[in-house]
C-alpha cells in the first residue's frame, strides 16, 4: 500500500492511490520492539493467573493480535466495541457500547487492550462498566497515550508510547475507516471531520 519510492522529506508517505499521510510518529520497528517488551512484562506479572484480554474494537485489533502473541501464557481473548468518535477526528464525549463481551468476567483477571487514550473519558467509562461485572482484577494496556490530553485521572498499568496531541492513523487507527492497515503510526494531515 505504501510506495517507499515516494516518501516525503518530512517523513510522510504517498499511498498507491495517491493519498498522502503525515510524518511517522512511531515506526513499525519501534512498535514491534515495544510490544515484545510489554508482552514479556505482562507474562511475568500474570504468571499463575492467565489473563483474559479484552480488545477494544476497532482500533486495537492489530495491537491485540501482536500483543497476544508476545504474551507467553495461555490467555483468552474477547472483544468489545465502543464509539465516541463516529467519523470525526475529535471525541464526542458520548460513549456507546456497540458490541459487548461474550465471556463472563466474574473472578477473571482482565486486561483491557486499548489502542489510544486521549481525553480518557471513554476508558474511564469502560473501566467502571467492566468493574461492575466483578473481575478478580482489571488492568489496562494502552498502546498510545496522548500527552497532556487526559481530562480524568487514569491508572494505566501498561503504556506503549506517550505521543504528542496530534490526530494519528495507522496500525489499527483510522479516520472514517481508512488507514488502519498502515504498519506504523502517522500524524493525520488530511481534512478534519
Q: Which residues are catalytic?
A: 118
Which residue in 34, 31, 73, 36 sits closest to 52, CA to CA? 73
Give, in degrees to the nearest 5, the angle at Cα 65 between 136 and 142: 55
The residue with cell 502473541 is 69
Q: Name the DSSP letter for residue 93.
A: S
Task: Give CA–CA dist 167/192, Å, rounded.
Answer: 10
CB under 8 Å to 34, separation ≥6 — which residues? 160, 161
Peptide bond into 114 cis (omega under 30): no
CB 77 within 8 A of CB 50: no
Q: What are the helix (H) ranges across the chain? A: 28-45, 61-70, 121-131
Amino acid at each position: 500500500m505504501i510506495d517507499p519510492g515516494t516518501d516525503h522529506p518530512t517523513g510522510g508517505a504517498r499511498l498507491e492511490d495517491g493519498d498522502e499521510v503525515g510524518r511517522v510518529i512511531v515506526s513499525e520497528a519501534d512498535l514491534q520492539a515495544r510490544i515484545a517488551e510489554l508482552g514479556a512484562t505482562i507474562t511475568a506479572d500474570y504468571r499463575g493467573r492467565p489473563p483474559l484480554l479484552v480488545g477494544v474494537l476497532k482500533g486495537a485489533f492489530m495491537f491485540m493480535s501482536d500483543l497476544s502473541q508476545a504474551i507467553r501464557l495461555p490467555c483468552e481473548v474477547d472483544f468489545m466495541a465502543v464509539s465516541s468518535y463516529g467519523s470525526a477526528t475529535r471525541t464526542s464525549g458520548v460513549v456507546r457500547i456497540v458490541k459487548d463481551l461474550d465471556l463472563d468476567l466474574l473472578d477473571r483477571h482482565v486486561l483491557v487492550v486499548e489502542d489510544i487514550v486521549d481525553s480518557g473519558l471513554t476508558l474511564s467509562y469502560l473501566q467502571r462498566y467492566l468493574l461492575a461485572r466483578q473481575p478478580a482484577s482489571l488492568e489496562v494496556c494502552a498502546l498510545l497515550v496522548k500527552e497532556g490530553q487526559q481530562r480524568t485521572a487514569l491508572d494505566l498499568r501498561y503504556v506503549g508510547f506517550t505521543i504528542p496531541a496530534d490526530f494519528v492513523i495507522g496500525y489499527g487507527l483510522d479516520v472514517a475507516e481508512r488507514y488502519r492497515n498502515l504498519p506504523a503510526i502517522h500524524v493525520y494531515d488530511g481534512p478534519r471531520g
